């Protein structure tokens, strides 16, 4: 049985209400957050510390949304869940919100153990399959040129290159050969609930949120987080994309949903106050753009922009994500006509128009 979700009083933070206070499920346990919806929280390495997964009552069992990384801790936690509160319960389907390892790292493992189908958007599934198939001990020369273009020095390039080109496969189990595709606007009937698929972009190519209009619940994955903004990065895979522009469009799209939904995020605690959070994320990024445009009064490389975008020093462990985020902002200024990019000896220099 799921643990109760009403032992603590609600808390408020920056216009959001957290209806369960600081109550959370313990390791190997579940917690009820709404009729037919249970919460599993798993540890993940790094600053995020945890990821949320959701257990949805389904005909003949449960559907899972996200799984955590392929780590010993996460596998042991799931084994405890299925030996405890979900003992004897079969998984009917494995739903992945997006391709990042902290969300689908154990999706293939779960599908194999429970003989259930994998359900994802095509863009997320293809990206994950590509990354799994592209693992190598050698970093591609295109990636090295991308790092240098962003302003990395040779020591930074060498240190990153030592890690090889297979980190994704280390924390993600192989996925099934086939999958069940979901797309924006589709309806997933899971037990007694109808969930509409709402696809966003910017943080990942084709991120699936699940919206139950009748119950007033949104499973948001990483598309809406309560206390931090998800990483929005420009990458070597699609170097001329505009991920931040896609992110702004996704925020506007999600604002068409009701404001009073119970939002179940991929990280952080469940909350209400969807529109306030969307507005805050939108404003935060637009303010960063304005500040960055002013900083480009002189030509700058991406690595020189960290101090304008981030409130803490960027060490080696965060260099890749910080570079992607800086490039996404610089690229957005370029798309908006507020900055231009010059290439000098393979290095990108951005200046305000």
Q: Are 163 and 169 in contact (CB under 8 A)?
A: no
Return the SS3 of 37: strand
Return the SS3 of 73: helix
State residue 7's pLDDT score: 54
State residue 273's pLDDT score: 98
Question: Tokens 């997320």, residue?
Answer: 124
User: What are the sequence ranges of the domains in the chain?
Assistant: 11-294
State residue 6's pLDDT score: 46
State residue 46's pLDDT score: 85
Return the SS3 of 330: helix
State residue 1's pLDDT score: 42
Domain 11-294, classified CATH 3.20.20.70, yes or no: no
Cα distances from 345 to residues 145, 150, 151, 192, in angstroms, run 11, 12, 11, 60
Expressed in percent and rounded to 5, the helix, strand and coil fractions of the chain are 35, 25, 40
Query: pTM value?
Result: 0.95
pLDDT, tens digit only, all 353 positions of the chain: 455 444 567 887 778 999 999 999 998 999 999 999 999 999 999 888 999 999 999 999 999 999 999 999 999 999 999 999 999 999 999 999 999 999 999 999 999 999 999 999 999 999 999 999 999 999 999 999 999 999 999 999 999 999 999 899 999 999 999 999 999 999 999 999 999 999 999 999 999 999 999 999 999 999 999 999 999 999 999 999 999 999 999 999 999 999 999 999 999 999 999 999 999 999 999 999 999 999 999 999 999 999 999 988 899 999 999 999 999 999 999 999 999 999 999 999 999 99
Which of 235-267 are b and which e, b meaning 16 or more Cβ less than 10 Å from the residue's Cβ? ebeeeebbbbbbbbebbebbeebeeebbbbbbb
State residue 3's pLDDT score: 53
State residue 2's pLDDT score: 54
Dihedral of alpha carbons 257, 261, 266, 267, sign? positive
In the chain, the largest separation of any two C-alpha atoms, in whole Å, equals 64
């Amino acid at each position: 049985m799921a643990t109760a979700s009403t032992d603590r009083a609600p808390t408020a933070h920056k216009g959001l209400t957290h209806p369960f206070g600081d109550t959370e499920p313990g390791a190997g346990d579940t917690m009820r957050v709404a009729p037919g919806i249970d919460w599993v929280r798993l540890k993940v390495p790094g600053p995020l510390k945890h990821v949320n997964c959701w257990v949805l009552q389904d005909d003949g069992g449960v559907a899972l949304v996200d799984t955590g990384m392929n780590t010993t801790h996460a596998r042991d936690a799931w084994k405890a869940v299925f030996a405890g509160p979900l003992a004897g319960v079969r998984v009917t389907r494995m739903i992945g919100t997006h391709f990042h390892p902290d969300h689908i790292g154990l999706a293939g493992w779960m599908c194999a153990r429970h003989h259930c189908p994998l359900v994802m958007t095509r863009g997320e599934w293809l990206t994950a399959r590509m990354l799994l198939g592209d693992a190598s001990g050698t970093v591609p020369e295109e990636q090295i040129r991308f790092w240098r273009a962003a302003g990395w020095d040779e020591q930074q390039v060498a240190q990153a290159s030592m890690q090889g080109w297979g980190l994704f496969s280390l924390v993600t189990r192989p996925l099934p050969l086939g999958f069940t595709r979901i797309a924006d606007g589709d309806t997933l009937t899971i037990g007694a609930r109808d969930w509409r698929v709402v696809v966003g972009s910017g943080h990942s190519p084709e991120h699936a949120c699940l919206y139950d209009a009748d119950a007033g619940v949104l499973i948001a994955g990483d598309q809406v987080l309560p206390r931090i903004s998800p990483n929005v990065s420009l990458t070597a895979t699609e170097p001329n994309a505009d991920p931040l522009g896609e992110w702004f469009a996704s925020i506007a799209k999600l604002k068409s949903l009701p404001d009073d939904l119970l939002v179940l995020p991929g990280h952080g605690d469940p909350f209400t106050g969807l529109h306030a959070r969307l507005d805050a994320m939108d404003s935060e990024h637009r303010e960063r753009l304005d500040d960055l445009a002013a900083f480009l009064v002189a030509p700058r490389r991406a690595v020189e922009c960290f101090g304008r975008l981030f409130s803490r020093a960027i060490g080696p462990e965060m260099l890749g994500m910080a570079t992607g985020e800086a490039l996404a902002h610089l690229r957005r200024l370029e798309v908006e006509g507020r900055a231009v990019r010059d290439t000098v000896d393979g290095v990108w220099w951005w200046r305000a128009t």
